[in-house]
Amino acid sequence: MNILIIDDEEVLQDILTVLIRKEGHTPFVAGTGEDGLAVLEREEIDLVLLDLMLPGMHGMEALGEIRRRDPDVVVVVITAFSSIESAIAAMREGAFHYIPKPFKNEEVMLTIRKGLEQRRLTAENRSLKEQLRQRFAFDNIIGKSKPMQQVYELIQLAAPSKSNILVLGESGTGKELVAKAIHHHSRRAGGPFVTVNSGSMPADLLESNLFGHLRGAFTGAVASKKGLFEMADGGSIFFDEIGNIPIDTQSKLLRVIQEREFMRLGGIDTIKVDVRLIAATNADLEAAVREGTFREDLFYRLNVITVNLPPLRRRSEDIPLLAQHFLAHYARENEKAIREISPRALELLLDYPWPGNVRELENAIERAVVLSTGETLTEELLPGPLRQRAEAGAGAAGGNGMGLPAPALPSNGFSFKDAVSQYERQIIIRALQSCGGVQKRAAELLQVKPTTLHEMMKRLNISSESLVSS
């Protein structure tokens, strides 16, 4: 690794240079804070040995600049034994440790080794987070489940094309996020992304917003105005809940899609635009076509490439990942110390059907973070419906607390041993599913040792395939 020595004593520079080279690292030397910062600008430095008493820029000032420019670099301060208070102050400002003068070579190298290990762990942690982001997230769309991986693949294939795209999914599944991802991965990424809230305005106002109008086109039109299609020229226009557009407006929209041109309200000049249309809906457009409330020709123009977003209840394995993502986000936003979710709270999150999908989950986690006072999100912080459902499930299950029905007793009897084994198997699978397959957490949830759980899994033939199929 690369180690920077910032010290104005040549003898000390020479000693530290020899020690660092013996360890197999590369030393860089600077006599002042200013020179040290210049080295940091041109070299990738892993650890800095910083003398606090420097000519020119003081060591504490240099420390602040180093931390500002590279928060991950490890800084070990060097100070006279009589100035330990300064070293402690430096640690409060982000220094990893301090070395008092005079020092023993072994102590210096031990501190350096610990500092470099800290650097390695920080880099490893960042790498793991980046892998997690690249593997399980796509432009803020989060999920490791097979359905979501298929959505990512479809977005990557469809985005570079010129085709219109229809995004289908229940309310709260993230249709607008998908539309933005398609735009950002298309050749139009440098152009505008304009959203049309199709279902939130009356027909006349919607047309004025889409196509613009000239001054005096209608009462209240005191000035000419560009429409959303003009604003989206060269980019993408996203119609949210397109199934709510009135039938008369649908015919005008169809003309824009076919001819790439339109006229402003009250105008006679044709305006040409180059716009890609992305539409989304939670309605059954085919049923709407049969009922005559949605134009068939418009449906086929929109339905060139279809992206189907699964509801959250059909990708429950993504719930822990989503919950942790929202937890970290709202903890930062609200400056809270909360960092983890208790096994019982996670179990409730996994058991709930989430009719409002990802949006409802996000709201639940945000509420819990705001109300939290500790470092763990517990079940008491979750909204009432989640807790009430769990209590109702426990009652229906005869008080077993796992939501599993007690086996019925047939008149001719049954094998007690087999029934108990089957019940054990169900409980263990349920615990593993609620903990995302992590055996250590499942063992904590079941209040058994991890080795005991492992033996039970072997005896009951429980594997990762069992978790998927159950």
List pLDDT tens digits, range 286-342.
999 999 999 999 999 999 999 999 999 889 889 998 999 999 999 999 999 898 898
Instruction: Give the closest residue to 15 by CA, choosing from 5, 24, 2, 25.
Output: 5
- Architecture per CATH, domain 2-132, reads as 3-Layer(aba) Sandwich (3.40)
Q: Is 1.10.10.60 the CATH classification of the domain at 313-404?
A: no
Instruction: Read off the pLDDT of each residue in 17-33 and give the average, rounded to a whole number.
Output: 91
How many Cα atoms sit within 13 Å of 333 on the Cβ side? 11
Q: What is the pLDDT of residue 205?
A: 81
The residues of the chain that CATH labels 3.40.50.2300 are 2-132
3 state SS of 213: strand
Q: What is the pLDDT of residue 398?
A: 43
Q: Is 1.10.3720.10 the CATH classification of the domain at 407-470?
A: no
pTM: 0.56
Instruction: Give the closest residue to 21 by CA, choosing from 111, 96, 117, 109.
Output: 109
In whole angstroms, what is the distance from residue 171 CA to residue 322 CA?
17
- pLDDT tens per residue, range 275-290: 999 999 998 899 999 9
Q: Strand pairing of 2-6 and 47-51? A: parallel
- pLDDT tens per residue, range 69-110: 888 888 999 887 556 777 788 888 888 888 888 888 888 889
Give Cα 459 to chain centroid, integer Å. 38
Q: What is the pLDDT of residue 327?
A: 92
Q: What is the pLDDT of residue 454?
A: 83
The residues of the chain that CATH labels 1.10.10.60 are 407-470
Instruction: Read off the pLDDT of each residue in 238-248 and give the average, rounded to a whole number.
Output: 90
pLDDT at 448 over 90: no
Instruction: Read off the pLDDT of each residue in 444-464 and give the average, rounded to a whole number.
Output: 81
Quickly tell me which residue has 């086996």 as its tokens. 407
In whole angstroms, what is the distance from residue 2 CA to residue 244 CA?
61
Label residue 401 by pLDDT band (50, 70, 90): very low
Instruction: Give the closest residue to 70 by CA, choosing from 103, 41, 113.
Output: 41
Instruction: Read off the pLDDT of each residue in 407-413 and give the average, rounded to a whole number.
Output: 56
pLDDT at 400 over 50: no
Q: What is the pLDDT of residue 386?
A: 82
Instruction: Read off the pLDDT of each residue in 369-398 and give the average, rounded to a whole number.
Output: 76
- Architecture per CATH, domain 143-310, reads as 3-Layer(aba) Sandwich (3.40)
Which tokens go with 386? 């989640």
- pLDDT tens per residue, range 30-70: 989 999 899 988 888 999 999 888 888 888 889 988 988 88
Question: Do residues 158 and 271 lie in contact, with contact meaning Cβ atoms separated by under 8 Å?
Answer: no
The residues of the chain that CATH labels 1.10.8.60 are 313-404
- pLDDT tens per residue, range 148-194: 999 999 999 999 998 999 999 999 999 999 999 999 899 998 899 99
pLDDT at 381 over 80: yes
Q: What is the pLDDT of residue 464?
A: 61
Label residue 467 by pLDDT band (50, 70, 90): low
Average pLDDT, the chain: 84
- pLDDT tens per residue, range 118-156: 888 877 777 765 655 555 557 678 888 889 999 999 999
Instruction: Give the closest residue to 54 by CA, choosing from 30, 76, 74.
Output: 30
Question: Which neighbouring-strand residues pair with 48?
Answer: 4, 75
Q: What is the pLDDT of residue 220?
A: 72
Q: What is the pLDDT of residue 357?
A: 93
Label residue 458 by pLDDT band (50, 70, 90): confident
Label residue 202 by pLDDT band (50, 70, 90): confident
Q: What is the pLDDT of residue 89?
A: 83
The residues of the chain that CATH labels 3.40.50.300 are 143-310
